[in-house]
Amino acid sequence: MEFITDAKEMRKYIIDWWPAILKWPEEKIQAHLPKAVAIPKSVEEAQEAVKYAYDHGLAVVPFGGASGVLGGIVPEKPSLSIDMQKITGVVEFDEDNLLITANAGMFGRELEDYLNERGYTTGHYPQSIDLATIGGLVATKSAGTFSSKYGNIEDMMQCVEVILPDGTLFTNRNVPRSATGPSIPNLFIGSEGTLGLITKVTLKVHKIPERREFRGIEFDTLEEAVSTARDFYLRDIVPAVVRIYNSAEAQNLYAKINHTSDKILMIVGIVGAETIAPEILKQVLLTAAKRGGTDLGAEIGNNWEQHRYNADWLEEGNAEDTIIADAIEVSGNWTTLPKMYEVISKKLEGKVEKLWAHCSHCYPSGANIYFIIFAKGKDKEETLKKFNEIWQIIMENVHEIGGSGAHHHGIGRQRLPWFEEEIGTSYTILKDIKKAVDPKSVFNPGILKL
């Protein structure tokens, strides 16, 4: 097993895509470095690393691909960071049962490429697919762009293997469903490294669809677009992709097809059998037309599909000391979404240089909203202060309106101030679970306020 103790090398082990940490003074970053980084090459070596930390009073911070955006890998106490990237590869592809088991350090793209070569897919395409490991996707409760068809990571995982704080291994029976009390494996989905170290994951797989159709649809108002998305569920014609952009963000897509408009944009994606997908698309367009939607054709939809992993705005928006950008994803029911957007947009006036917003994950009862904010200050300190004020405005108003302040990025360190309010009495239960599983508070202390 390899170890790293050089401060310069360890720096990358606490810096993910969290915009706030980029504004930290160097001395603060140095103060949060782990004592060491362990790089195991096997589950057995990872167990040894966990046992060492357990016996020597060190915290354990699991490290995957550092694709998070909320500071979840920043240690709070003297810690051992465990880099899982060398515990990688496919363990088993069970084509008969439509399952694949992969080591937790395997990157999402690597797993998807492996399946695609054999005519299969997980259906899980988060924007971080090239940067995130399988273990990290489970630990942060990830969502992918085709979630309306394939579900989110919690819908895909059938079995998980985890190293517990004392070094022992947990796993569950690898079956489709089991009515044997509360689901213990699901405790590790969204646990953000607080209950154990994920080592293997078994996911459901699907054949690659025969046909894919993407389309752009314009609406005069957000209410019309949101109502149309709800109508898809009422008519049982839900596309695999349903995205709704405010006018400001829609400009990025309109520009790619030389289309001038200040309207709301919906992107839909239909995937399925050759004989079925075109008919679903036809019904989707008819449903949208009843709400005033105008079909813009396939070009804008195909353009979105080809560039859907691009997040240049995040890197560019945080490239200087005096600017900051972030994507803050929240969720709500159909009746609250338009109000949530209207109230928060109004309250952010004068606080942000630019506000993009879109819905990208829909459910029978509602959807998420991304608020993509761009702000600036005169120096690092003022910029970070403005950033935190923006977060406070969004979180407080989402809770007041009745939504959730976190859809799929998780909690990390940025969302900690609102976590207890978000989950209410569940927090007491969560603390009791932590005490039972991790009485020494070895795993990622402070995250989830544990």
What are the structural domains, with CATH classification, of the chain?
A: 90-207 (3.30.465.10), 211-306 (3.30.70.3450), 312-423 (3.30.300.330)
For residue 197, say whether it is annotated as part of any ligand binding site. yes
Tens-digit pLDDT profile for residues 170-222? 999 999 999 999 999 999 999 999 999 999 999 999 999 999 999 999 999 99
Look at residue 238 in the predicted model and tell me its pLDDT: 98
Alpha helices in 265-379 (DSSP H): 277-290, 298-306, 312-316, 337-347
Q: Which position among 309, 363, 370, 427 bears the catalytic label?
A: 370
Q: How far apart are CA 374 and CA 387, in angstroms?
A: 9
Q: Is 233 a catalytic residue?
A: no
For residue 163, say whether it is annotated as part of any ligand binding site. no
For residue 194, say whether it is annotated as part of any ligand binding site. yes
For residue 193, say whether it is annotated as part of any ligand binding site. yes
Tens-digit pLDDT profile for residues 400-436? 999 999 999 999 999 999 999 999 999 999 999 999 9
For residue 195, say whether it is annotated as part of any ligand binding site. yes
Banded pLDDT at 77 (limits 50, 70, 90) = very high
Report CA torsion sign: 102, 203, 153, 112.
Answer: positive
For residue 131, say whether it is annotated as part of any ligand binding site. no
Confirm whether pTM is higher than 0.95.
yes
Q: How far apart are CA 194 and CA 72, in angstroms?
A: 10
Please check whether residue 313 is in contact with residue 238, taking contact to mean a CB–CB distance below 8 angstroms: no
Instruction: Read off the amino acid at residue 344.
Output: I
For residue 350, say whether it is annotated as part of any ligand binding site. no
Tens-digit pLDDT profile for residues 246-276? 999 999 999 999 999 999 999 999 999 999 9
